[in-house]
Amino acid sequence: MVKYETVIIMNKKKIKSIFLLLLATVIWGSAFIAQSVGNSIGPFTFQAVRCFLAVGFLVPVSFVIDRAKGRSFVAEWTNRKLWQTGLWCGLALFVAASLQQVGLVYTDAGKAGFITAMYIVLVPVCGLFFRQRPPLPAILAIAAAVVGLYLLSAAGVSQINRGDLMVMGCALAFAVQITIVDRFAADLDGVRLNCIQAFLCGVLSLPFMIAESPALWDMMQYWGALVFAGVLSMGVAYTLQILGQKDLEPTPASLIMSLESVFAAIGAWLILHERMTPAELTGSILVFSAVIISQIPSKKQHR
């Protein structure tokens, strides 16, 4: 009876984690339109402002949560492991976001989206360093997702340039960030961890932002997109990612997060009235199928 109740609790936690990651991917997919503003005010200006807006949102949120739980707001920030993990995550996030922004100068957005999503392949590779071997359903899901993402984002594109290599580096950095969260963030405060990684990403972006000589009027003109990308995409969605990964293996978690490309395509179809080609529709179905396959329990989990 005790074992049965434990399984029920574990299943509820897993369902909650899947829901949190799905919600994060919906926000990230919707943020593609807002992130296009980066080309208007400068990619690093956009990135720095976005990160600091996220910090300005997350600090009061953590204060409210501490008051509700009767915890000391200041004492919770003194956790050494929290800062170490947050700084490493922030460094990986900065490298990933920067390489993606610069890579988009030399490559098209569809191909960049496909290459970025290749972290679904790189996450299991990173897991091998910690002796985490993905089960067979996860391997099949990765294969289906790669084909689906190609049809969704890069069908008919064959030429490779230096922008593609930069975006591949971005995918590797995202895989490292996902792996760090999986290995070290299970017992950490997700809101504070995201706050620290956003703060470091913003600080590292400042020198490049100054080089872009941003105009305050331009930032005010696009304040809506900046707030959406900062508060919702960076502040809320990345927190949901950290919380969602607590009870999921990194490989199925990364597959769920790859749905970002699907939700972006659906959002463009619904909001911008862009048509989905048969290849894009087939790709979306394959990625959704891959996520479902990744949730099939292995023989060990059945036992």
pLDDT digits (tens, 9 = 90+) for 41-66: 888 888 899 999 999 999 999 999 98
CA-to-CA distance for 192 and 84, rounded, in angstroms? 12
Q: Which amino acid is at 77?
A: W
What are the angstrom distances between the C-alpha of 89 and each of 12, 13, 155, 184, 253? 27, 24, 32, 10, 17
* Residue ranges of domains in the chain: 16-295
Residue 6 pLDDT exceeds 60: no
* Amino acid, single-letter form, for residue 276: M
Chain Cα centroid distance, residue 170: 12
**pLDDT the model gives residue 82:** 93
| Widest pairwise Cα distance in the chain | 65
Q: Average pLDDT in the 169-180 region? A: 89
Structure tokens, 15 = 């369902």
pLDDT, tens digit, 9 for 90 and up, residues 13-39: 888 888 999 898 888 877 766 666 666
92-to-44, 163, 180, 225 alpha-carbon distances in Å: 16, 19, 9, 24
Q: Which of 119, 113, 134, 137 is nearest to 32 (CA)?
A: 113
CA distance 23 to 26: 5
Q: Count of CB atoms within 10 A of residue 299's CB?
A: 8
- Name the helix (H) or strand (E) containing 300: helix 299-302
pLDDT in tens, 90-137: 999 999 988 887 777 776 666 666 677 778 777 877 777 767 777 777
